[in-house]
Structures are given as structure tokens and as C-alpha cells.
Chains A and B, each alone.
Chain A
Amino acid sequence: MSRIDRRFAALKATGRTGLIPFVTAGDPSPEHMVTLMHALVDAGADLIELGIPFSDPMADGPVIQHASERAIARGVGLAEVLGWVTAFRTRDAETPIVLMGYLNPIEIHGYERFAREAVQAGVDGVLLVDCPLEEAAVLQPLRQAGLQQILLAAPTTAPGRMVRLCESAEGFLYYVSFAGITGAGSLSTHDIAARVADVRARATVPVAVGFGVRNAQSAKEIAGFADAVVIGSALVGRLAGAKGPDEIVGRVRDILQPIRSALDTH
């Protein structure tokens, strides 16, 4: 059983909703990246999504794009990202890590080389935003090395396609709660609830809901019908500009702990 599968099984056994924070690797500070990752876990994260910076993040809004640009300006690439995962693993062997990003950095690095290095570092899965199921053949070396491929599902996903996604999903299915970019607008909880219920009925893996979760209130609403909630832009936005480990850890605690409490009391 993979680290991701074990974590979701444990959540299910205790009746808890998972909390999945997303942070852009290298922002707000490359030096304190490992401290930030541990802080996420201390504040209640069940799984960490680590964004690989990319120059052209087509599916992300301005908050994550700017975080990406700052990280790239500081020279952050795949080697640094994998280095932080390796360092994180010396103290935490249990929290699953999913690398989220776009295909080109991995394509250029080489799929086989990436697969080998990522597994060695302690990465558990990848979510490649611009690699839908139809193009996933290139990811075969990653799957062979044991990296789970996390797939996205959206409100616009056609029924027939949803069946295929549910069949192919590994680890968990990431449900994008509306048809927009990361960090945009508000969501109608009622609509999402019905659609996620439908997906959960078909999928053999847990369903995490993301895109548009900004605070304890919205997280709590989603907790009623999802296996996990993802918080991305709201967290990245709050972390922007934080200086020094104390400020980073403080901000993580301020934003994640209320969400953690809300999830545990819904």
C-alpha cells in the first residue's frame, strides 16, 4: 500500500476529512522551504502538494503565477525541489508528498531520470496539470517507478469521460470545483456537493476537492461531502513576502489551524 493510500485509509478509519495544502516550491523562501513543509504538517496537513515552478502556468491564477515567477527568479528548479523532499523525509517518513506542475520541466529533465530521482527523494505522486489522461502514455516510466498519477476531474467533464477517469485514478481524484483558474471566484456548494457525490459513487479512490477553497467556512462546507479539501491560492497568497522561519510558521498556523478545526468538527 502506498503512502497516499495508507493516509486516506487512516482518515477513513477515524472519520476525518483530509487537509491538503498546496505551496509553490521555493516561495516565499528557498532557505526555509523544509521548515515550511514541516509547519504544514504541524498545522494539520495530511498530505502536501508541492508546486514545481513553471514559467507559463496556464491553469493557474495570478497568485500562483507570481509565486512561480519569484521561485524561478531565485533559481529554483527540479533539483532544488527534489532536494527539499529528501531533506523533509529525514524527519517525516509518513506524510505523502505530491508534486504538482506542468509537463515541460519533467519532459526536459527526462521522464526516466525524473522518476528515479523523485522516488529516491520520497515523492509519492505527481499531478501534472497539462497532462490529461489522453496524453498520459509519456508518464509510463513514472508509474513503473511507483509514482501515483493523480488525475483531475472538473464540472465540465463529460459523463463518459468521468467513467474513464474514475477507472484510471490512482491515490485520489482531484475534483476542480468550478471551471476556472486557481484562486478565482466563489463556488456554489450545493452544485459541487451533487457532482462530487456522483464522482465518489463511481470512483474507487478518495475524492479531494480544490480550486476556490479560501477559509474555514468554505472548507467546512466542502468537508461534508469530500474525502479531502485542497487549499492553494489562499495559502500561497498569505505566505507571499513572509520573511524568516518564524513568520512563515506563524502564517501557516494562522491560516491552516482554523481550517483543521473546522474540518474536525463539521
Chain B
Amino acid sequence: MSSTQDFQRWPDAHGRFGDFGGQYVAETLMAPLAELTEAYERLRDDPAFIAELDRDLKHYVGRPSPIYHAERLSQHIGGARILLKREDLNHTGAHKINNTVGQALVAKRMGKPRIIAETGAGQHGVASATVAARLGLKCVVYMGAVDIERQKINVYRMKLLGAEVVPVTSGSKTLKDALNEAMRDWVTNVADTFYIIGTVAGPHPYPMMVRDFNAIVGREARAQMLEEYGRLPDVLTACVGGGSNAIGLFHAFLNDAQVRIVGAEGGGEGIASGHHAASLAAGRPGVLHGNRTYVLCDDNGQIAETHSISAGLDYPGVGPEHAYLKDAGRAEYVGVSDEEAMEAFHLLARTEGILAALESSHAVAQAMKLARELPSDGMVLCNLSGRGDKDVHTIAACEGVEV
């Protein structure tokens, strides 16, 4: 890896991150994507837009989120200090709100009265319904029928916020199918509809725009590390489904060559079992949902049905910027199993009094592994991307407990 390489300069003018990204969509979507790209590129340099976004992030989302030294967890593990970037403390309980606040402001300025979103775990759906309620926009959320069943609380939350939740029964009835269905809605209703994609996937400009709105996580964390600890962490880790919280943390550190970067994918029952969602660790380059990236598919190119205990990681693709960072050798991606995530969930709850989301528990598990490999003055910064209240029923069911 060359220390002079600028990893932050992507995407290029065609929306590509090295060989990945792009706009692999039907002709009917090319015009709406061009309109969105033009609007977003104008707005992101507009001082009035930036000021409005900053106000919302501070007063509505509750930023900045703190970095918390998980002392008892670190002691329990032995090794480096584990530091948690507390995105679980944001309004609605996850990093997802950083992006929806931003995209909703774009929608408002583009004059679109209706927003649509896809959701897996329901966190992005809730975050979209939340900002829609606040701005008085109509909101329709597409959600796989399987996910609706395993995330009932979030479905009800969305309804309380005034959103319509549409069950998707095609394909594997999970996140990827919800994304297909939302894309179809957008193609059909593009005149009055803004599609808030919840992760750094989809066609350009989404991977760039969603990253930009989440990059505040890493910018804050980098400044907080320098201010509170006097140096950057040795290693960063975050969970990767589509990869929005991970790229949010990683981006500000990409050119800090001394900081190691590790993404934790949904390893399900283990990579060898074939039942997992580790697109980067075990997939191959392909084209899905409008971009070239790593995908899990069979030899006929059919997209695989993935498995992860956490609905938010249960996705057969991944954001193209992660695919680029993997191939460029700047970041590593590993699978963390359901079992390891559950162990980390319990350990964090008992040692620190924090119920982490199952997605984020994968990152905590990875942080524990990394901490063990480092000396006691080392530092592992882990993105605690969301809180675990939504997963209480899943965890109880897993352990055979009636709630």
C-alpha cells in the first residue's frame, strides 16, 4: 500500500470507486439519477443547506455522539482499550438518522412531497418515517415479509410515525427484494417521489451521498480521538451489511496509513457452512442493484439467499466503496458468526450496561478479537452503530425465552 495514495478521492465523475460502483440501471432511471446528482452536487456546497443540516444534526439527532471507553469490557478481554463510538445514542437509536436527515432535506429542496425507502432491520425505515413526519412528507416503506415478521417492533414504530409499510413477498422476502420493489416504485412515480436509499449501495450518486451524510461519524471520531487521547486509534472496526455505518466511520481515516481498518460482515453459521452474508469475505465481483460490487451468487449469476441473525446485515451485496477498499488493500473484511455476535452482545450488556443492536454486536465481537492481539496501551475504535431494543424479541427467541 502506497502511503501517498489518496483513498478519499473517490468516486470519479462516473460514480466509480476504482472498478466498482457506476450506474447499472434501466434507461428509465438515468434521468432521475441525473436530476438527483445535479441537485445533490449543488446542495452539498450550498452554505444554507449545510447550515440547516448541521442544525438538525445537533438539535434533532443529538450530535456529536461521544466516544466511550468500555473499561470493564476491555479489562475482561485483556489487551487493548476498546473505545465505542456511540451512534446508538442518536435519535431513533442508530446511525441511520444521519443519512435520512440529509436526504430528506435534499428531497424537500427538490420539491418532492413523497418519500419511499427500503428497510431490512427496520432501522432505516424508522429513520425515514421519522424525518418524513418531521418535514410533513408522505412516507412509504418497503420491507421483506420475512423481515416484517422478525422486526415487529420497528414495523409498529413506523406505523406510529405515520408511514405506510408495504410487505414485499417476492424473491427471498428480505432486504434485497425490498430494494427491488422500492426501485420499481421510484421508476413509476419519479415525478413526485424521492427515494431515500438506506445504505451506501445502489446506483451513483447514492453510494457517495449516503457516505457523505454518514461521514460525520468518522470526522467527529477522528477529532475526538486527537482531543481526548492525543492520537489516532490503532484499528477501526464496524459491521458491514450494505456498509453505511462502516464507511461513515472509516472515511475520515482512509489516508491515515497507520490506522488499520477491519469490517465485520455477517458470518451467519460460519463462512464454510454457506449460510452467511459475507459478500466481501466470500463473494465475487458482480452487478447488483445498480452498481458493480462484490456479491454472493451462484455460478448462473443468481443472487444468493443470505443468512445472518441480524436483519441489517442480511444482504448479498455491499457498498462499492468497500469493494474498492478491499481490492486496494486499504481495508480488511472478515465474517463474524451469529454465535460470536450473540456472545459479544451479552458480554457488553453485562460489563457495560449497553444493549447493542445485533448488527453492532458483530463489530463488538470483532473489536474484542482485535483488542486481544494488541498491547494494553493499544486502542481499538468500534462503531456501536445502533442500540439493541429492537432485537430483544429475536434474542429471547434464540435462547428459548418467552417474553
Contacts and interface: CB of A to CB of B under 8 A. Distances in A.
B171 A58 contact: no
A122 to B, nearest CB: 21
A156 B26 contact: no
B292 to A, nearest CB: 8
A72 B170 CA distance: 13
Contact of A176 (B25, B27, B184): B27
Contact of A59 (B177, B187, B299): B187
Contacts of B14: 134
A108 B299 contact: yes
A180 B30 CA distance: 13
Interface in A26-65: 53-59, 61-62, 65
Contact of A108 (B183, B290, B300): B300
B27 A56 contact: no
A90 to B, nearest CB: 25
B32 to A, nearest CB: 7
B332 to A, nearest CB: 24
A56 B187 contact: no
B317 to A, nearest CB: 10
B289 A180 contact: no
A132 B203 CA distance: 12
Nearest to A104: B301
A154 B146 CA distance: 34
Interface string B283-320: 01111111000010101111100000000000000000
A181 B299 CA distance: 27
A192 B171 CA distance: 33
A180 B34 CA distance: 17
Contacts of B303: 55-56, 104
Contacts of B300: 72, 77-78, 105, 108-109
B120 to A, nearest CB: 15
A117 interface: no
B302 to A, nearest CB: 4
Contacts of A132: 23-27, 30
A251 B41 CA distance: 52
Contacts of A72: 300, 302
A69 B177 CA distance: 13
A157 B24 CA distance: 16
Given A104-B301, A105-B300, A58 B184 contact: yes
Interface in A108-142: 108-109, 129-132, 134-135
B30 to A, nearest CB: 6
A239 B328 CA distance: 48
Contact of B284 (A102, A108, A153, A154): A108
B286 A131 contact: no
A181 B190 CA distance: 12
Contact of B170 (A54, A69, A105, A152): A69
Given A132-B23, A158-B31, A181 B289 contact: no
B176 interface: yes
Interface in B169-204: 170-171, 176-177, 180, 183-184, 187-188, 190
B26 A58 contact: yes
B185 to A, nearest CB: 9
A107 B287 contact: yes
A130 B290 contact: yes
A103 interface: yes
B315 to A, nearest CB: 12
B301 A156 contact: no
Contacts of B171: 55-56, 65, 69
Nearest to A103: B287
A108 B303 CA distance: 11
A151 B284 CA distance: 27
Given A108-B301, A132-B23, A181-B187, A156 B286 contact: no
Given A77-B300, A152-B26, A107 B286 contact: yes
Given A59-B187, A134-B14, A179-B188, A104 B287 contact: yes
B2 interface: no
Contact of A56 (B30, B32, B190, B288): B288
B273 interface: no
A153 B27 contact: yes
B287 A59 contact: no
A129 B22 CA distance: 15
A161 interface: yes
A145 interface: no
Contacts of A158: 31, 34
Nearest to B190: A179
B31 A55 contact: no
24 contacts: A54-B301, A55-B171, A56-B180, A56-B289, A58-B26, A65-B171, A104-B303, A108-B284, A108-B300, A109-B301, A130-B290, A132-B24, A132-B25, A132-B26, A134-B30, A151-B27, A154-B27, A156-B28, A156-B30, A157-B27, A158-B34, A161-B30, A179-B187, A181-B184
Given A55-B303, A129-B26, 17 more contacts: A56-B171, A57-B180, A58-B25, A61-B184, A65-B170, A78-B300, A103-B287, A104-B287, A104-B301, A107-B285, A107-B287, A108-B300, A109-B300, A109-B301, A154-B27, A154-B31, A179-B28
Interface of A: 53-59, 61-62, 65-66, 69, 72, 77-78, 102-109, 129-132, 134-135, 151-154, 156-158, 161, 176, 179-181, 184
